[in-house]
Structure 1
Amino acid sequence: MRDRIEDAAKRAFSEFGYKGTTMDQIARLAGVSKGAIYLHFPSKEALFQHMLGEIIQQVREAFESSQREGDDYFHNLERGLRTLMQFRGDHAIVSKLAQEVRQFGTEQAREGLAAIERAILDYLARYLSRGMELGVVRPCRADLVAFVLFRAYTAVLRDFPSVGGHLAEDDLYHLFTGVFVDGLRLRADEEQGQARGNEWG
């Protein structure tokens, strides 16, 4: 029954957004009574938060599934960024929440999108921190760099096609390497300097 309720909630939030979804709709779609839903979820907000938790888990899985063992760290990072952007654009609930925020400014929808974005930024920051540990990313504030990468990719994918036309995967990768990688990659001379500093430390 819980699975039926969750599936119905996904359909409802995807079609009607947060504001337009009611427990009556979810009960009807699930083929259960409203009281049965309350046995599992005390409110629409609790059900919505549960859906957000699932989406955040899917964000992590999407990024991890884009990684190719043995590939260059920065290839994997750029591919992960593209995958996250595609996930955000293609996911029905996320798209509906974004539309709802634009049209109605619903606070719960805004907060839901913010929670998803925080999860994406946190995951990117941890990936950058791992790059620093591996010695391929120069020391930086990982949360700030993650924010810049995320915002830049969002703007390029959302706004550039209306100005400059279609973007191929190669276009995005060359942009990423030309603008970001040279600034992020730890060069051999810096690595040696860092090692000397560690020796003196």
Structure 2
Amino acid sequence: MTVRDRIEEAAKRAFSEFGYKGTTMDQIARLAGVSKGAIYLHFPSKEALFHHMLRGVIAQVRDAFESAQVEGDDYFRNLERGLRALMKFRADHAMLSKLVQEVRQFGTAEARAGLQQLEAAILDYLARHLQRGMDLGVVRPCRADLVAFVLFRAYTSVLRDFRPEEGELSEGALYELFTGLFVDGLRLRPGEGRASNRTFLEER
């Protein structure tokens, strides 16, 4: 493992345990077993190191979505499966969970900006995935950025905030919800053509 690798591993641990505000370059140096000067050879500041770590997390989020795709399966099943994978990754990732907690408790500007950067990347990725669906002729013409936002916020609310007495929703129940609320409006029907009548979701 190179010095840079050790620094990145130490930074991941520090940000996950202490958040952005509670992490110092001295802590990262101790965890990595290097001098603070060695860190500055690779990263000019804590902020630069933090944003470098965020870029890595964003790449992992995209990988989580892609690895949930099943070749040959229905586009919308893959989309819903990918949304669940995104939510699970975000909920299970220690650094992201700590940043969410930090924003709620202290309102740390850097932590909030980092989470906003992550969300913007997720929304951009979802919008491009929806655009691919339109290009393939399976998604009706729509404003991909708006639909991506609605899908992301709806799944975030359901998986984070909805707590039914009978326990967590099953994968089947989530897909039924997704189908009932979104697929019927998004799926391009046979004979409809790509230049179908505009809807409230379509770009104007």
- Do structure 1's residue 15 and structure 2's residue 17 form an aligned pair? yes
Q: Deviations over 1:47-78 (max 9, x none)?
A: 00100000010011111100010000000000
Moved over 4 A (4+): none
Match of 1:55 in 2: 57
Q: Deviations over 1:121-162 (max 9, x none)?
A: 011000000000000000000000000000000011111125
Q: SS of the residue aligned with 1:190?
A: coil
Contact 2:140 2:194 in 1 (8 A): no
Larger mean CA deviation between 114-123 and 155-164 belongs to: 155-164
Question: 1:41-190 alignment to 2 at 5 Å?
Answer: 41-161=43-163, 165-190=167-192
Aligned equivalents of 1:44, 1:116: Cα separation in 2: 18
Aligned equivalents of 2:125, 2:177: Cα separation in 1: 22
Contact 2:141 2:195 in 1 (8 A): no
Aligned equivalents of 2:14, 2:112: Cα separation in 1: 17
One-letter code aligned to 1:100: E
Q: Which runs of 5+ in 1 are unaligned?
A: 195-201
One-letter code aligned to 1:7: E
After superposition, the CA RMSD in angstroms is 1.2
Aligned equivalents of 1:192, 1:173: Cα separation in 2: 25
TM-score by length of 2: 0.92
Q: SS of the residue aligned with 1:86?
A: helix
One-letter code aligned to 2:81: R
Question: 1:23-38 alignment to 2 at 5 Å?
Answer: 23-38=25-40
Aligned equivalents of 2:50, 2:25: Cα separation in 1: 11
One-letter code aligned to 1:141: R
Q: Percent identity at matched positions?
A: 77
One-letter code aligned to 1:147: F
Q: Which runs of 5+ in 2 are unaligned?
A: 197-204
Q: How many residues align?
A: 194
- After TM superposition, give the deviation of residue 2 of structure 1 in Å: 0.4
Aligned equivalents of 1:140, 1:170: Cα separation in 2: 26
- Do structure 1's residue 39 and structure 2's residue 68 form an aligned pair? no
Aligned equivalents of 1:111, 1:184: Cα separation in 2: 32
TM-score by length of 1: 0.94
